[in-house]
């Protein structure tokens, strides 16, 4: 026995390896491919936002802010939510600023889920949901969306069949990553019906809330009083203002739920970068930045789709987010991971296999592109993709 070897760890996440996003980005870097895989912009944020943060630093906002978040930012969030969704959240007790949306998701689950609890996860799903449930000692209960005629829809009958007396939480994501689908009024009513006479909580991942297209409104759970009363609603400044590396997000929840959230939050990260919070608060005084985001990304969506429509890819509908899923069955019989790897290595464009968003092996011959890129980046990728 080597006495210099570190002690063995009984892994809490034995099946978890490097995420598909890191894997495909590394592959893209190795082959100098155009990266339409990982979901972040390749363009800069508004210089005025940086200036607001700079001024906050110069004004001395460089120490710990309040654990719940800087008061001006929580007030700006409350004002925005009231304007868009007609719901009043108490600035002091019902809004918490977090170190990104993934931290908000983890903190919500750790606050709610006990050993033996079940959590319903709708697949395809963002990859942090299931590992976090497992870390909390809970059991993920997987429900696949229906995929029919090129569209993904939630199967509420299937969800109802999976609800038990152990169900503690249902995780909802709209606009949905990776499919680009959005919830309808009928979906909110179905969710309300399923949770009306029980103690089930809801985590609503709404980080793409300002990217809903074709003049449709985002249906936040904050806009539905019955659902808002049992929901943790999460949004992301990184997604909204093109600053994913800043890792600043927030959670809306009723006072009793927020109190439990904050118990975990204070020992998870305690608080979030003070200057960025104050800079964001100042920047939010002009609502155009988030109100015009849908048209900004719809222009990119339409440009990307118009070019791909001339290719052998089949386009799925995109109602929201900055992701485009495509069916490549007219091009290749490879599995989704094999095709995404081939596309990166041989064609020079990185994508994400949609199968990576499932726990069980699922193959629909779909990959996901991110169109949150500069026009020249999209043009370079499209030149290669349209030749297939």
pLDDT bin (cut points 50, 70, 90) of residue 17 is confident
Please write the tens of the pLDDT for every residue from 285-328.
999 999 999 999 999 999 999 999 989 999 999 999 999 999 99
Mean pLDDT across 138-162: 95
pLDDT bin (cut points 50, 70, 90) of residue 127 is very high
Q: Do both 232 and 347 map to the same domain?
A: no
* Chosen domain end from 254, 270, 287: 287
**DSSP code of 99?**
S
Other C-beta atoms within 10 Å of 258: how many? 23
Q: Which residues pair with 252 in a beta bridge?
A: 95, 233
187 within domain boundaries: yes
Please write the tens of the pLDDT for every residue from 341-378.
999 999 999 999 999 999 988 899 999 999 999 999 99
pLDDT of residue 1: 53
**DSSP code of 35?**
E
User: Tell me, what CATH number does 357's domain have?
Assistant: 3.90.1150.10
pLDDT of residue 19: 86
Mean pLDDT across 224-237: 98
d(CA 87, CA 269): 28
Of the candidates 225, 249, 256, 282, the residue with the CA atom closest to the CA atom of residue 96: 249
Q: Which two tokens stand for residue 355?
A: 């199968």
DSSP SS3 for 363? coil
Q: How many CA within 13 A on the CB side of residue 157?
A: 1
Please write the tens of the pLDDT for every residue from 307-316.
999 899 999 9
DSSP SS3 for 248? coil
Q: Do both 150 and 267 map to the same domain?
A: yes
pLDDT bin (cut points 50, 70, 90) of residue 4 is confident
User: Tell me, what CATH number does 111's domain have?
Assistant: 3.40.640.10
Please write the tens of the pLDDT for every residue from 30-79.
999 999 998 889 999 999 999 999 999 999 999 999 999 999 999 999 99
Residue 94 pLDDT greater than 90, yes or no: yes
Q: Do both 169 and 275 map to the same domain?
A: yes
d(CA 93, CA 302): 41
* Chosen domain end from 287, 308, 327: 287
Of the candidates 290, 180, 174, 185, the residue with the CA atom closest to the CA atom of residue 234: 174
d(CA 25, CA 323): 16
d(CA 74, CA 281): 8
> 182-194: b or e for each residue (b if 16 or more CB lie within 10 Å)?
bbeeebbebbbeb
316 within domain boundaries: yes
d(CA 213, CA 292): 11
Of the candidates 320, 342, 324, the residue with the CA atom closest to the CA atom of residue 332: 342
**For 78-188, where are the E strands, in sequence order?**
95-98, 118-123, 139-144, 146-148, 151-153, 167-173
15 within domain boundaries: no
256 within domain boundaries: yes
> Are 343 and 367 a contacting pair, CB within 8 Å?
yes
Q: Which residues contact 212 (CB under 8 A, 6 or more apart)?
A: 175, 182, 218, 294, 319, 320
Sign of CA dihedral 63, 68, 71, 76: positive
Mean pLDDT across 90-114: 98
* Number of compact structural domains in the chain: 2
Identify the domain containing residue 336 by its residue range.
Answer: 20-45+291-385
Q: Do both 93 and 164 map to the same domain?
A: yes
Q: With pLDDT > 70 as the criterion, what percentage of the chain qualifies?
A: 99
d(CA 235, CA 251): 7
pLDDT of residue 18: 82
Of the candidates 220, 277, 270, 286, the residue with the CA atom closest to the CA atom of residue 243: 277
Please write the tens of the pLDDT for every residue from 151-206.
899 999 999 999 999 999 999 999 999 999 999 999 999 999 999 999 999 999 99
Residue 2 pLDDT greater than 70, yes or no: no
Average confidence score pLDDT of the chain: 96
Q: With pLDDT > 90 as the criterion, what percentage of the chain qualifies?
A: 92
Sign of CA dihedral 321, 304, 386, 379: negative
Please write the tens of the pLDDT for every residue from 236-264.
999 999 999 999 999 999 999 999 999 99
What's the whole-model pTM score? 0.96
């Amino acid at each position: 026995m080597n006495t210099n070897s570190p002690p063995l760890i009984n892994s809490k996440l034995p099946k978890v390896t490097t995420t598909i996003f890191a894997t495909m980005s590394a592959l893209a870097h190795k082959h100098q491919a155009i990266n339409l895989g990982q979901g972040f912009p390749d363009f800069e944020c508004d210089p005025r936002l940086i200036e607001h943060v700079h001024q906050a630093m110069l004004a001395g906002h460089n120490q710990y802010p309040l654990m719940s978040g800087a008061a001006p930012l929580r007030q700006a969030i409350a004002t925005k939510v009231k304007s868009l969704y007609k719901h009043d959240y108490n600035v002091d007790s019902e809004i918490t600023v977090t170190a990104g949306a993934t931290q908000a998701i983890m903190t919500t689950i750790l606050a709610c889920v006990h050993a033996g609890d079940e959590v319903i996860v709708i697949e395809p799903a963002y990859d942090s949901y299931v590992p976090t449930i497992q870390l909390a000692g809970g059991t993920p209960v997987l429900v696949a969306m229906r995929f029919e005629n090129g569209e993904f829809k939630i199967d509420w009958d299937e969800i109802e069949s999976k609800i038990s007396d152990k169900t503690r939480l249902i995780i909802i994501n709209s606009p949905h990553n990776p499919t680009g689908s959005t919830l309808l009024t009928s979906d909110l009513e179905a969710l309300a019906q399923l949770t009306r006479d029980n103690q089930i909580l809801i985590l609503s991942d709404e980080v793409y809330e300002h990217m809903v297209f074709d003049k449709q409104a985002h249906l936040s759970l904050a806009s539905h009083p019955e659902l808002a009363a049992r929901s943790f609603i999460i949004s992301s400044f990184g997604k909204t203002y093109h600053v994913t590396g800043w890792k600043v997000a927030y959670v809306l929840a009723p006072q009793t739920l927020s109190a439990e959230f904050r118990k975990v939050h204070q020992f998870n990260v305690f608080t979030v970068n003070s200057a960025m919070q104050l800079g964001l608060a100042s920047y939010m005084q002009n609502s155009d930045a988030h109100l015009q985001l849908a048209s900004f990304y719809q222009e990119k969506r339409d440009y990307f789709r118009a070019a791909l429509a001339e290719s052998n890819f089949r386009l799925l509908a995109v109602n929201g987010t900055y992701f485009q899923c495509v069916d490549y069955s007219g091009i290749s019989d490879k599995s989704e991971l094999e095709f995404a790897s081939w596309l990166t290595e041989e064609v020079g464009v990185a994508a994400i296999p949609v199968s990576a968003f499932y726990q069980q092996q699922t193959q629909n011959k779909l990959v996901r592109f991110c169109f949150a890129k500069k026009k020249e980046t999209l043009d370079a990728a499209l030149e290669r993709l349209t030749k297939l």
